[in-house]
Amino acid sequence: MSIPAATLPRPPQADRTSFRVLGAISTAHMINDMMQSLIVAIYPVLKGEFALSFTQIGLITLTYQLTASLFQPLVGLYTDRKPVPYSLPVGMTFTLSGLLLLAYAPSFALVLLAAALVGTGSSIFHPESSRVARMASGGQHGLAQSLFQVGGNTGSALGPLVAAAVIVPHGKGSVAWFALAALLGIVLLLQVSRWYAAHRKDAAKGALRAHTATFGRGRVAFVVAALLVLVFSKYFYIASISSFYTFYLIEKFGLSVQSAQMHLFLFLAASAAGTLIGGPVGDRIGRKPVIWGSILGVAPFALALPHVGLAWTTTFTILIGLILSSAFSAILVYAQELIPGKVGAVSGLFFGFAFGMGGLGAAALGLLADRTGIGFVYQACAFLPLLGMVAILLPDTTAPRSPSTGGKASRALPGVGGSAPSGPA
C-alpha cells in the first residue's frame, strides 16, 4: 500500500483537478491540431493543383513533422529550467502564419514553408501545454493527459471533415477562413498563460517534492528506448492511414474524395475516443497494461485490413483508431513518472519523436507507394503493431517498501499501481 494522499504535502492547486484550465488547453490543442490536419486533409487538392507525386506528398508531412520533432525536446529542456508561460500564444501565432501562407502559396516550395511554420508552432505549443495539463491535474495525471490529448485528436478528426465540406468545394484559398479559429486559440492561450504564470511557483515546489525513480540511469535509458520503439510502431502505422488512407480508398474501392475523407474522419474520431479512455484507465489499473493492450491489440485488425472489403475496412480502421490511440497518454505519463521533475523535456522528447516518426513514415511510405502501389503499403505496415511485444520489457514503476513508513510501501511513483497522486511537476 502507499501513503494516503491526505498525508502528502501538496501545493494548493494540486488538491483538485482544474477542469476549466484543462478544458481551455484541450480546446486550444483541438484548434492547433485541426490546423495541422488541414494540411493532410487537403492532400488530394494539393496533389491536383501542383501535380504532386506520392513522394512529394510524403515530403510535406515530413517537413511539418520534422520541424516539430526537432524543436520540441529543445523547447522542453529550456522550459524545464526557465518556464515561459506566454510561449503558448506565440506557438499558435506560428501556426496561424503557416495556415495563411498555405492558403495562398503559389508553389510547392511555399507549401513546404507553410508546413514548416505549422510544425514550428506545434514544437512550441506541445511541451508547455502538456506541462499545464499536469499542473492542472490534481494528481489525476492520466485523466489530465487524456483530456489534453483528446482535444488534439478531435482537431485531427475535424480536419478531413471541414476539408470535405469547405476546402474541396471552394479550393485551397478557403483554408484562410480557418484563421479565425487560430485567433480564438490565441485568445484562449493568453488566458491559460496567465493561470500558468500565477501557479508556476507552486508547480516548482511540487516538482521538488516529487520522488526520484529508483532505477539507475542505464535502466531508465533502456526503458525510454523501449517506449520509443512503441511510439515508432504506433506513429509509423498511423502515418500510413493519416497520409494515404484516402488514396487507398479511392484506388481500391472507387470512392470520391469527399467520401474517402469522411472515412478518414471516422478513423480519427475513433482515435479521439480511444485517447479519452486510455488515460483514466491507466490511472486505475496502471500504465503498463494499457500500453501492452493498446499497441499489440490492434495487430489482428491491421493484418486483416488489406484483405477485406469496404465495410470491414471501415470497421477495422475504427477499431484500430479506438484501441491504438489509448497508448500515447499512458506512454507519456509512464515516462514522466520514470523521470520526475522533467515534464517539459519528457513531453518534448515523446511528442517530438512521435511527430518525427509520423513524418519519416509518411515520406518513406510515399516513396514505397510510388514504387509498389498503395495497396502494398498496407500489406507491409500490417506487421508494425507486432512491435507491441516490446511492452513486456517495461518494469513496474512502483517504489520499494521503506522502513520509515512503518512497514508499508513508500510512496509509489505518481499515478502508478494505485499510488497517491503527486503534486504537479
Tens digits of residue pLDDT in 236-263: 888 888 778 888 899 889 998 888 888 9
Which residues, at least 6 apart from 389, have a Cβ–Cβ distance to it below 8 Å?
Answer: 296
9: number of Cβ within 10 Å: 9
**Pick from 142, 131, 20: nearest CA to 80:** 131
Residue 188 to residue 198: CA distance in whole angstroms: 16
Residue that wins the pLDDT comparison between 88 and 215: 88
- As a whole number, mean pLDDT of residues 74-89 equals 84
Tell me the mean pLDDT in the region 297-322: 92
Q: In the prediction, which pLDDT does 406 show?
A: 37
What's the CA gap between 239 and 235, in Å, rounded?
A: 6
Report whether pLDDT(128) > 80.
yes
Task: Give me the mean pLDDT over the 148-157 stretch.
Answer: 80
Q: Check pLDDT > 50 for residue 3.
A: no
Kindly tell me if the per-residue pLDDT of 419 is higher than 80: no
Closest to 240 in 3D by CA, of 276, 267, 204: 267
How many Å apart are CA 46 and CA 62, to the nearest integer? 15
Percent of the chain with pLDDT over 70: 86
Q: Which three cell numbers stand for residue 287?
A: 500504465
Of the segments 6-15, 162-171, 371-380, which one has the largest average pLDDT value?
A: 371-380
418 versus 59: which is more confidently predicted?
A: 59
**Between residues 169 and 12, which one has the greater pLDDT?**
169
- pTM of the complete model: 0.65
pLDDT(413) > 50: no
Average pLDDT over every residue of 55-60: 84
pLDDT band, residue 8 (cuts 50/70/90) = very low
Which pLDDT score, from 0 to 100, does residue 203 have? 54
Mapped onto helix, strand or coil, the DSSP state of residue 110 is: helix
pLDDT class of 187 with cuts at 50, 70, 90: very high
pLDDT band (50, 70, 90) for residue 415: very low
What average pLDDT is seen over the chain? Answer: 78
Could you give the maximum distance between any two Cα atoms of the chain, in Å?
71
Query: Which of residues 41 and 403 earns the better pLDDT score?
Result: 41
Right CATH for 13-405 from 1.20.1250.20, 3.30.470.20, 3.30.470.10, 3.50.50.60: 1.20.1250.20
Q: Which pLDDT value is given to residue 184?
A: 92
Q: What local confidence, expressed as pLDDT, does residue 75 receive?
A: 83
Residues 196-244 have pLDDT tens digits of 888 776 555 554 444 445 567 788 888 888 888 888 888 888 888 877 8
Which pLDDT belongs to residue 217? Answer: 78
